[in-house]
Amino acid sequence: MGLYVDIKKSYKGFTLTSSFESGKDSLGILGASGSGKSVTLKCIAGLITPDEGVIKVNGKTVFDSAAKINLPPQQRNVGYLFQNYALFPHMTVWANIALAIRDKSKNKEKTISDLLERYELTGLEKRYPTSLSGGQQQRVALARIFAYEPEILLLDEPFSALDAFLRENMQAQLIRILKDYDGDVVLVTHSRDEVYRICSRLLIMSKGNIVANGETNTLFQNPPNVISARITGCKNLSEIERLSEYRVRALDWGCEIETDEPIDEAHTNIGIRAHYFTKTPAGAAADYSRIPVEVDEVMDSAFDKTVILRVPGVPHRSILSSDKTGEDGRIWWICEKNTDISGLDALYVHKKDLLLLRS
């Protein structure tokens, strides 16, 4: 059951093609802004009409272009948490929730006070949304959605309106709230941390297409292609030339790398996550690939250190030519703050941590 989506939509200069199914767990959609992830969500809710395709919610067809079915949002039974929560500013917390109560035969007072208690909003019922904190607003929005008893829940960048230091706490709260919810959850975000914490399954979207679909853990450990690797946060990506079954030349970095996994013709790039380098092999030297480097730049953060390196003798391209890290032929290494990098001439990476990618 769950959600079934197979749609096409021309939108602001690109065509969105979205096709997936969700199970009982929470599904994350990860992508940069403008990748079509929010449009997908709005199509499911009925706020945007796709050009063609089918959308089913728990087996019920809510959109089918061939059969000319297009139920209005009111009949889709889909809860939608908006980016800025969309609480009605001229109504109190109480009135906001009361409007959404689906079952009018229920005792309204009791339903609302139960919801207020469950989302720790008791005492705030007479307040207006603008006088609430970001976290409180989000809980009111969730209470309003659950008053409507939706079959599935769509979360559109739920934490982007919050300050960074509130975010982690709110993520923990949301995970707790979602545990009590029976329906499917779809979370759209550009934050890797959010999907990793909240969603067991993951779609990666780029420029209107789904580029990867699978278990969240698997996709982070083994992204199938270059775009997924970049979106899941891989900072070091290089095109490769296959030298032998277990040996490639990394063209952007100008060095040779040995791999564990056999390389075939379809592999076009190699990726190494910035956290995965070590100064010395932590185990058998044969398990590690060695990359000769020299330090180019060091950036200190609060709790770690970013070292930008290059292979000696390889001229690096202008850093300004691209917004993306690791595309100027330099290698990023994020290490512990107190790491001593004087006299560093090589980095090691476990062969299991090398990402062999298709384009």
Measured from the CB of residue 186, what is the shortest distance to other proteins in angstroms?
14
Closer of 71 and 341 to other proteins (Cβ):
71
Helix (H) or strand (E) holding 219: helix 216-221
Measured from the CB of residue 307, what is the shortest distance to other proteins in angstroms?
38
Measured from the CB of residue 244, what is the shortest distance to other proteins in angstroms?
57
> Which residues in this chain contact other proteins in the complex, by CB under 8 A?
45-47, 72-74, 76, 78-80, 82, 84, 86-90, 99-100, 102, 130-131, 144-145, 147-148, 161
Contact yes or no for 19/3 (Cβ under 8 A): no
Q: Which two tokens stand for residue 257?
A: 């790398």
Q: Which two tokens stand for residue 78?
A: 């889909």
Measured from the CB of residue 161, what is the shortest distance to other proteins in angstroms?
7
Q: How many CB atoms lie within 10 A of CB 110?
A: 9
Q: Determine the Cα–Cα distance for residues 303 and 305; give it in Å rounded to an integer.
A: 7
Closer of 47 and 178 to other proteins (Cβ):
47
Measured from the CB of residue 72, what is the shortest distance to other proteins in angstroms?
7
Beta bridge partners of 63: 55, 70
DSSP 128-175: -GGGS-HHHHHHHHHHHHHHT--SEEEEESTTTTS-HHHHHHHHHHHH
Measured from the CB of residue 227, what is the shortest distance to other proteins in angstroms?
30
Q: Determine the Cα–Cα distance for residues 152 and 216; give it in Å rounded to an integer.
A: 20
Closer of 73 and 135 to other proteins (Cβ):
73
Measured from the CB of residue 263, what is the shortest distance to other proteins in angstroms?
49
Dihedral angle sign, alpha carbons of residues 244, 246, 250, 254: negative
Closer of 161 and 334 to other proteins (Cβ):
161
Measured from the CB of residue 323, what is the shortest distance to other proteins in angstroms?
27
292 burial level (CB within 10 Å; 0-12, 13-18, 19+): middle
Closer of 72 and 343 to other proteins (Cβ):
72
DSSP 249-318: EETTTTEEEE-SSPP-TTEEEEEE-TTSEESS-SS-GGGEEEEE-EEEEEEE-SSEEEEEEE-TTPPPPP
Closer of 80 and 348 to other proteins (Cβ):
80
Q: Determine the Cα–Cα distance for residues 349 and 104; give it in Å rounded to an integer.
A: 62
Closer of 72 and 313 to other proteins (Cβ):
72
Q: Determine the Cα–Cα distance for residues 128 and 260; give it in Å rounded to an integer.
A: 60
Q: Determine the Cα–Cα distance for residues 327 and 230; give it in Å rounded to an integer.
A: 11
Closer of 83 and 306 to other proteins (Cβ):
83
